[in-house]
Amino acid sequence: MDLRYVPLSLRSIDALRSELAVLPFFEDERPLRAAAGLCDWRLCGRLSRLIESGRVVGTLGESLLCPAGPRLPFERLLLVGVGPRDRFDDRAFELANSKVLAALMGLRVRNVAVSIPGRSVGLLAAEDAGRRFLAAIAAGADELDELALLDEPDALRAMAPGADAERRRQRAHGPA
């Protein structure tokens, strides 16, 4: 699996060619932030309208798969609810990651762009985010050709050593 670190910007997102973008968001996160916010902007508020209509709320464990449309370089978007911000903890992080893994395995995607749950508002430290995310999805990562992690440039620089160390550990010993 090729692991890429992609800075959050419309230009960087436009350069991607992924089958799926995973966009976690909090139940009380309005407006949407990070990758979800950029995708919503590019889609002229379509994700916000899905939320306003109640089609997706952001409760922990909730997910919604929808087409991305021609304005984004992804075939589909997976919105993943991570619950309210004040209740985000290790359990919520693990549940969100299990939803992501189940979706990746079920959809059989080969190229995916992911915004790590908890990072949109900084509740999960960048230093641990990549390592913990890769450890959580290790069982399904064998099917991926490319995983692009989307975050702020400073966070990606902080994330890279832990994520790369986790990848080396998985290659040497297999998933945890």
Extents of the domains making up the chain: 2-171
59 has pLDDT over 60: yes
> Does pLDDT of 142 surpass 80?
no
SS3 72: coil
Provide the pLDDT confidence category of residue 174 given band limits of 50, 70 and 90: low
Q: Give the model's pLDDT for residue 136.
A: 87
- What pLDDT is stored for residue 10 in this prediction? 95
176: pLDDT strictly greater than 60? no
- Pick 6 or 121 by higher pLDDT: 6
Q: Report the chain's mean pLDDT, rounded to a whole number.
A: 92
- Between residues 1 and 104, which one has the greater pLDDT? 104
Residue 175 pLDDT > 70: no
Q: In sequence order, which ranges of 19-137 are alpha helices (DSSP H)? A: 34-42, 46-52, 90-107, 126-136
Residue 162: is its pLDDT beyond 90? no
pLDDT at 90: 93
Q: Would you identify the CATH topology of the domain 2-171? A: Leucine Aminopeptidase, subunit E; domain 1 (3.40.220)
CA dist 52 and 163 (Å) reads 35
Helix (H), strand (E) counts: the chain: 7, 6
d(CA 142, CA 160) in angstroms, rounded, equals 19
Residues 1, 53: Cα–Cα separation, whole Å: 37
Tokens (6 digits) for 37: 């916010």
Residue 171 and residue 132 in contact, taking contact as beta carbons nearer than 8 Å: no
Q: What is the pLDDT of residue 34?
A: 95
Check residue 38 and give its pLDDT: 97
Write the CB contacts of 100 (distance below 8 Å, at least 6 apart in sequence): 22, 24, 78, 80, 114, 117, 137
| Beta carbons of 137 and 104 less than 8 angstroms apart | yes
- Give percent of the chain with pLDDT exceeding 70: 97
Q: What is the mean pLDDT of residues 122-136?
A: 89
3-state class (DSSP) for residue 36: helix
Q: Give the mean pLDDT of 17-23.
A: 96
